[in-house]
Structure 1
């Protein structure tokens, strides 16, 4: 008997699967190693080779030295057996040679059948497909691999791949970052990335820092709280207040002594009653009350009885001053008048021929305001009437019975100070003379 089909030559002996795998067989979706398929194909080839080698040519059937054909029962016909013996071939097993059934199955678990060429081809194709899938998976994770490589070459690369074993979930990883865990690959985190933590300054309302990842610390600024600025019974940032609660502020009516409102918190305004009459016009000039300086001038008025007589007195290179009257502050009018036929005042000079200066003047705050002056050698000068208006700064004078003089005053009068009316005698020419000053009558001022 001749064979026309070429044996499925398979030289790679591969690696024999463990007994447990041979018992369990290949499972759905399983990707067996290439060396297991190599072993299976090689073993099938060897078995077929052995069978072919033992089968004689078809022409030797039933001939001496040939082979005996089987009958319909699978046995050698008795007439071909020597001495009428019956030869029965046993079923093949893993330990015994015998008759074996062929099978096209590629996913079975039986051990008493033999794979056909078709089954071997399908298994080979499946092996190639699984190899392509393995290669694609390796390349996808950055491992160099090719379908031209054998399983013996690919398996170490697979073993070198680090399989994720962590238990991180998407809520444990920053948003946009990819990761894998023990159950899945290609996961993306969802923790918001908030950037720098920054500084939080406490205010009157809550401030929320949204959940997420912060690249720097979040600093909550400290709040220095002076206890004496916080109401008793209130705590701010851990500081208990010590400021007393004084209740309503109330009304304060100023008096002549200080009124003290104790330090603390008042639930309503403190009202200090105002005094509408506390204005400068109602306060005496020169007096200040609570920062208000008075402008009210005293209502002064009065009269003075003048009684001056110096007698005849010598003067030589001298100045003699004779005050007639000093009127009080606030005086604005001076009136000194004639009484009957007698003059109110007089100046009598006796000279050796040289003139002498005589002055009637006012003195206020150290300032001299001239009223009238005359320079004569000798004689008697009577003053009959004098009227001075310190507001208008003017005067009117009648002297020696008929002569009249009206003029303005030159100088500055401070009405808050007293004013003196005086007569000044000046001898500055070296003449030895005598003089006499008299003043009488009533001087009125207002």
Structure 2
């Protein structure tokens, strides 16, 4: 049966001389990596961006949030398909495109990881400080979250990690859906928001593109293939399972995003209430919920806020560390590389490179919790973050249309169209991000 990407699911080997691994039935009982990528990709920043979109434009941009989910489905499916179809990791593929790909990731991993570590700890600390204001300061809550995340990922393997992420996703799901129902959405207006209409305001095109691009993760899309392997899915027999898993991931993401857009449209837009951008906007939302629906609803929301932030923290701690371990293998530093089966066996989770990057994400960024983030570093972080998704979309197009991928598993027309559209979208957003940076103050 054809996939959304336009690819089929054959059972024969690439040379046509024999049957490949028997395809496993796409069953809900296998679902796992998709839950992890959904939980990691939807952070507090994504929720507040959607909340503000609802606050500013009502339901007008609901269609953009849905398209954002479809675009990310295509990217994550392509990453997972590469791992299963070739038996090689994404870094194996990137290394074959040239050393420039590894150089890009090296800079990205160092700068992005340093700033993201502080942002993730701070985001997880905000709801805890709001729930327990008299216990300790924001910085110390952040350090505590970082240390708990470090210990959890350091001492547990993927199976436990997935179970905990699933529980936290359940908390996120219950909270966001409860809020969406609590504000009593106007379903007629919501359905009208599925029509592709732009707000009649200056800059609406770029704002809409930003909403589409901001739904559901950046580097975690590349980490999806590593989580697929860590689950034990290592060959094309798991392709149908992976595709179902990926759709569940972005259906879940879509529910989170749509629920927060409902809250923004009904609670903020109708009352003409503005909130801050960034994670502090969610603290403001907690205050508004307390005033409208009472302190119990506000505290319930803050618990969901913490679950959202902390899943992003431990998800990046685990997934990007897996990628870094594979990156060092490509440099010949002695870290485990090789096939997906080795990843599934937990080899990389025990490597010095995996644990070294865990330490990098945790301890150096703590310095930033006690001071304003260094100006030049923040600019580089923004530019590198914006550049990663065009890099991912472009390299996946390259790899999955070449002889590096068995013919049966190369891109179909729909997959090529979605990946090309994603690459163009993220390139436009990257150029805008670079253009908007205050470069005159940088030098």
TM-score band, normalised by the shorter chain?
under 0.3
**Bigger relative contact order, structure 1 or 2 (CA pairs below 8 A, ≥6 apart):** 2
Larger radius of gyration: 1
Instruction: Give TM-score, length-normalised by structure 1.
Output: 0.16
Higher helix share: 2
More strand per residue? 1
